[in-house]
Structure 1
Amino acid sequence: MAEPEKRIALLIDADNAPASKIDLVLAEVARHGVANVRRAYGNWKSPNLKGWEAVLHEYAIRPIQQFAYSSGKNASDMAMVIDAMDLLYARNLDGFAIVSSDADFTPLVMRLLTDGMKVYGFGEKKTPSPFVNACSKFTYVEALGRPAADSEQSGSTTPKDAQELRNDARLVQMLRSAVDAGSGDDGWTRLDVVGSQIGNQASFDPRNYGYRKLSDLVKATALFEMREEGKTLWVREKPRRRAPAKKKAG
């Protein structure tokens, strides 16, 4: 008997998210479950949201009107947080998808995670790192693009080269820790185990680095050996080079 689809609430901060990417965001959310709640928050009298108005009906997204009660304050954020908590307490969801580039939602994400919810974040590259890292998985909307039919990379994110990847201390440590955690005596680990381990550690999406799959990203770092057995990919860290010993004077 097939497992029931995961139920996800899609909450959109229309003031801080591009309407042009909503079809790709919905396609990505569908990989995790069904978005049976779809809401977009903003002051719909504002001309800045005209782009969103054009896609609301097409994608069955409910607009939530929120007037700006005072200048410089975003009342939409507060309304979105209140609705998220109401949905959480209703106990009929399995996860949340939050579309915003605003770090103010970081405490909300952490609260949802505390209750065992998966939180999938979507935002532009300008999104502050606290929000990105708080999510179960965060994907830059720039990385969502054309299907990679004739390329190992997808979207408009330029793939980082080996040097750039190795200079990312957080990425390298995350990959090494995940490979080490699942390795046997010979150092080899199944790639799917590595992916699961990383997913348990932090927010991670290889497309944010310009690579369609985890295997492409791991290979691009040039820090790991890879082998294929049937349909199973295995990975282990290459021996690290030791720095040459300094000659003693005299």
Structure 2
Amino acid sequence: MSIQQAKLAVLIDADNAQPSLAEALLAEIAKYGVASVKRIYGDWTQPNLKGWKDVLIQHAIQPMQQFRYTVGKNATDSALIIDAMDLLYTGRFDGFCLISSDSDFTRLASRLREAGQTVYGFGERKTPASLVAACDKFIFVEVLRAPEPDEEPPAPAKVAAALKRDAKLVHLFREALNATAGDDGWAPLGAIGSFIGKQAPEFDPRNYGYKRLGELVPAIGLFELDQRPNPDGRSKTIYVREGKRKAG
């Protein structure tokens, strides 16, 4: 089954998600499959969730009511977890999208993966590392926000310098390159991206200001790229290798 045809269950923690990002969120999810189920959990008697009303209607997201029985106890989380397990046991889904920055869903993500499901997590950068690591892929919702009209992108030279100083990023790329390169030192860019994704679920070129991996790699300034024609003569594959260090 292709990734576009994968049937996904989208489960949203209303207390930990913003209605203003719903459209961008669903557009992102569409890259990974079809949102066969879209549910959002919260106590809809509370005024803080009022902003979701129009969004739910527009995007056909089903609101799931869960009263707060006790102050300080999050019954919403429990309702979402129970529903996730019920959906899992139907055997109708290929993956789950968990939208929350709450570490309480860490065990759920792990359990879904144990059952062979692909788990996509969506949350803010403050999301605990435990939940991020429990997902196959984790997207920080900040990259889905449209830039402000008066917001200027950083200068390319400053971006490159910052990327070179990012020890974790450089290490990820070098580790992936060593694992996927042939005897000539060249590795397909796609293989590098796949390797990095398995090592760091939160990796996304957009976290660094680039839409694609092929744009991020040259910006780092430490690697060489080579585009080679494919046998079909219509497309090309990008290869990467460690850049040659200049003498002196």
Length-normalised TM-score, structure 2: 0.86
> Partner letter of residue 232 of structure 1?
T
Q: Residues 40-73 of structure 1, C-alpha deviation per residue, up to 9 Å, x if partnerless?
A: 0000011100111221111111101011111111
Match of 1:165 among 163, 176, 180: 163
Larger helix fraction of residues: 2
Deviates more, 1:80-89 or 1:199-208: 199-208
SS in structure 2 at match of 1:45? coil
**Residue 197 of structure 2 aligns with which residue?**
199
CA contact (8 A) 2:4 2:31 kept: no
Residue 236 (structure 1) aligns with? 241
List runs of 5+ in structure 2 lacking aligned partners.
230-235
Inter-CA distance 191–60: structure 2 relative to 1 (3 Å threshold) = same
What's the CA shift for 1:178?
1.3
Amino acid of the residue matched to residue 68 of structure 1? R
Shift of 1:4: 7.9
Decide whether the 8 Å contact of 1:56 with 1:62 is kept in 2.
Answer: yes
> What's the offset of the Cα at 1:185?
1.1
Larger mean CA deviation between 210-219 and 32-41 belongs to: 210-219
Equivalences for residues 17-36 of structure 1 within 5 A: 17-36=17-36
Task: Specify the alignment match of 2:207 in structure 1.
Answer: 208
Q: Secondary structure at the match of 1:57?
A: helix
The corresponding residue for 2:225 is 226
Q: 1:207-228: CA deviations, max 9, x gaps?
A: 1222100112222221211122
Secondary structure class of the residue paired with 2:39: strand
The whole-number CA distance in structure 2 between the counterparts of 1:27 and 1:180 is 34
The alignment yields a C-alpha RMSD, in angstroms, of: 2.6
Q: What CA distance in whole angstroms lies between the structure 2 residues aligned with 1:170 and 1:108? A: 28
Worse overlay, 108-117 or 93-102: 108-117
Shift of 1:120: 1.0
Q: Give the SS at the match of 1:58.
A: helix
How much has 1:170 moved relative to structure 2?
3.0
Question: 1:174-194, CA deviations, whole angstroms, 9 ceiling, x for partnerless residues?
Answer: 211211111111110111111
Q: Distance in 2 between matches of 1:61 and 1:55?
A: 8
Alignment of 1:135-146 (within 5 A): 135-146=135-146
| Range moving further from structure 2, 61-70 or 97-106 | 97-106
User: Aligned partners of 1:3, 1:44: CA distance in 2, in Å?
Assistant: 34
Q: CA deviation at 1:239?
A: 4.6
SS of match in other structure, 1:180: helix
Aligned sequence identity (%): 53
Residue 145 of structure 1: how far off its partner (Å): 4.1
Q: Does 1:37 align with 2:37?
A: yes
The 1:157/1:87 distance shift into structure 2, 3 A limit, reads farther
1:63 equivalent to 2:68? Answer: no
Deviates more, 1:32-41 or 1:131-140: 131-140
The residue identity in structure 1 corresponding to 2:90 is A
CA contact (8 A) 2:160 2:220 kept: yes
User: Counterparts of 1:87 and 1:170 in 2: how far apart (Å)?
Assistant: 37
Aligned counterpart, 1:150 = none
Is the 1:145–1:156 Cα contact (8 Å) retained in structure 2?
A: no
Hey, what's the Cα distance between the residues in 2 that align with 1:107 and 1:172? 30
Greater displacement, 35-44 / 101-110: 101-110
Q: Which moved more, 1:8-17 or 1:120-129?
A: 120-129
* TM, length-normalised to structure 1: 0.85
Aligned length: 236
